[in-house]
């Protein structure tokens, strides 16, 4: 592993909600003097190679913990972020920044969600190279699949994502053509959605150590956890979960998914490729995400909280749906009701 760059981190924790305005000037001055003394003699914190666990995606660092008129030197856990290069047929395909761990699943999931492979048989082999810090994964396609996707492989894959000015309408149309409608039968309850959210949160081992990673999880229709991925990037977390299910031959059992992020177009696109019928997110949804979910027949739930969540498309999959399955909003107010709040049955 490459040596980490020098890092200096300052973390603040305030006991008073109005701190620092309510802190006396003498205490502020005392805290400042404490921290700044011999500042010119301090050396930046350097992370040794042994301070990072490549498999767990966590490394430790030193920081200064600020409290009222008190500063302490502590150690903390950081989520590791490193590049992973994915090769197909021995040639570079893409590079992504990720948290080390589940790298083979990440590569397989990315190849699946990008349409390079459609089924497990399309992947003749996939392995991680351990000679260069484990930051390379090599995939080999079957001869039949290679003939079908060779033009795509020559183009490579853009590293850019949401913030790169993609064309909305054309993007949705293209994704819809590549993704068959999600016509899986079955319904879920708000209670099941909440149970899946809780399962995902309890399984977030990397987040419990660092507090700054995303997770994506896939479930069967009865709430059984099929796969979970954690990463500093929400797209990578989704690819890891999908890739793990893909490699295990379990994608056909997936009915519900959950992610600790906003519902962006890319996240919904990946879930649609995996034919996830109901997808929940902790944050809000973008317009393209809602458009794509509606076009593909995915039930999109966002702002999922312990007592409430908002459904943006296909609400009929929820037991006791607030709208008839064939309801068509007509007024502007009705169109906004696609973002309707569905209460958890436990809440009453």
d(CA 284, CA 309): 10
Task: Give burial (CB, 10 Å; 0-12/13-18/19+) of 59.
Answer: buried
C-beta neighbour count of 133 within 10 angstroms: 14
As given in the structure block, the two tokens for residue 85 are 């290069």
C-beta neighbour count of 196 within 10 angstroms: 24
Which long-range contacts link 45-53 to residues 24+ away (Cβ below 8 Å)?
45/6, 45/7, 45/8, 45/9, 46/3, 46/4, 46/6, 46/7, 47/3, 47/4, 47/7, 48/3, 49/1, 49/3, 51/4, 52/1, 52/4, 52/80, 53/80
Q: How far apart are the first and last CA of the chain?
A: 53
DSSP string, 236-293: HHHHHHHHHHHHTT-GGG--EEEESS-B-HHHHHHHHHTT-SEEEESS-B-HHHHHHH
Task: Give burial (CB, 10 Å; 0-12/13-18/19+) of 105.
Answer: buried
Q: Report yes or no: 301 and 322 within 8 Å, Cβ to Cβ.
A: no
d(CA 307, CA 348): 10
Of the candidates 60, 64, 62, 90, which has an alpha carbon nearest to the alpha carbon of residue 10?
A: 64
52 in active site: no
Of the candidates 293, 242, 243, 237, which has an alpha carbon nearest to the alpha carbon of residue 263?
A: 293
164, 167, 314, 338: the catalytic one is 164
The catalytic residues are 164
């Amino acid at each position: 592993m490459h040596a980490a760059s020098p890092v200096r981190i300052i973390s603040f924790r305030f006991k008073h909600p109005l701190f620092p305005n309510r802190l006396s000037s003498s205490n502020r001055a005392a805290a400042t003097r404490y921290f700044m003394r011999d500042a010119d003699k301090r050396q930046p914190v350097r992370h040794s190679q042994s301070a990072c666990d490549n498999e767990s995606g966590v490394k430790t660092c030193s920081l200064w913990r600020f409290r009222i008129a008190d500063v302490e030197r502590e150690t903390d856990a950081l989520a590791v972020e490193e590049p992973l290069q994915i090769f197909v047929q021995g040639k570079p395909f893409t590079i992504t920044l990720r948290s080390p761990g589940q790298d083979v699943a990440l590569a397989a999931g990315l190849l699946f969600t990008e349409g390079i492979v459609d089924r497990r048989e399309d992947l003749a082999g996939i392995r991680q190279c351990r000679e260069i810090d484990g930051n390379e994964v090599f995939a080999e396609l079957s001869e039949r699949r290679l003939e079908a996707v060779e033009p795509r492989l020559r183009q490579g894959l853009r590293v850019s994502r949401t913030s790169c000015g993609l064309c909305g309408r054309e993007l949705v149309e293209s994704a819809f053509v590549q993704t068959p409608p999600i016509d899986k039968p079955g319904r879920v309850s708000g209670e099941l959605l909440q149970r899946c959210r809780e399962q995902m949160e309890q399984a977030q081992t990397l987040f419990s150590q660092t507090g700054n990673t995303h997770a994506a999880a896939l479930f069967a229709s009865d709430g059984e956890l099929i796969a979970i991925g954690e990463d500093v990037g929400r797209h990578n977390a989704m690819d890891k979960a999908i890739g793990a299910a893909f490699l295990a031959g379990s994608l056909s059992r997936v009915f519900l998914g959950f992610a600790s992020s906003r519902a962006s177009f890319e996240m919904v696109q990946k879930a649609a490729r995996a034919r996830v019928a109901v997808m929940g997110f902790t944050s809000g949804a973008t317009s393209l995400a809602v458009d794509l979910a509606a076009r593909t027949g995915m039930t999109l739930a966002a702002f999922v909280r312990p007592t409430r969540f908002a459904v943006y498309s296909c609400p009929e999959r929820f037991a006791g749906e607030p709208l008839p399955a064939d309801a068509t909003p007509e007024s502007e107010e009705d169109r906004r009701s696609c973002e309707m709040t569905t209460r958890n049955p436990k809440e009453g």
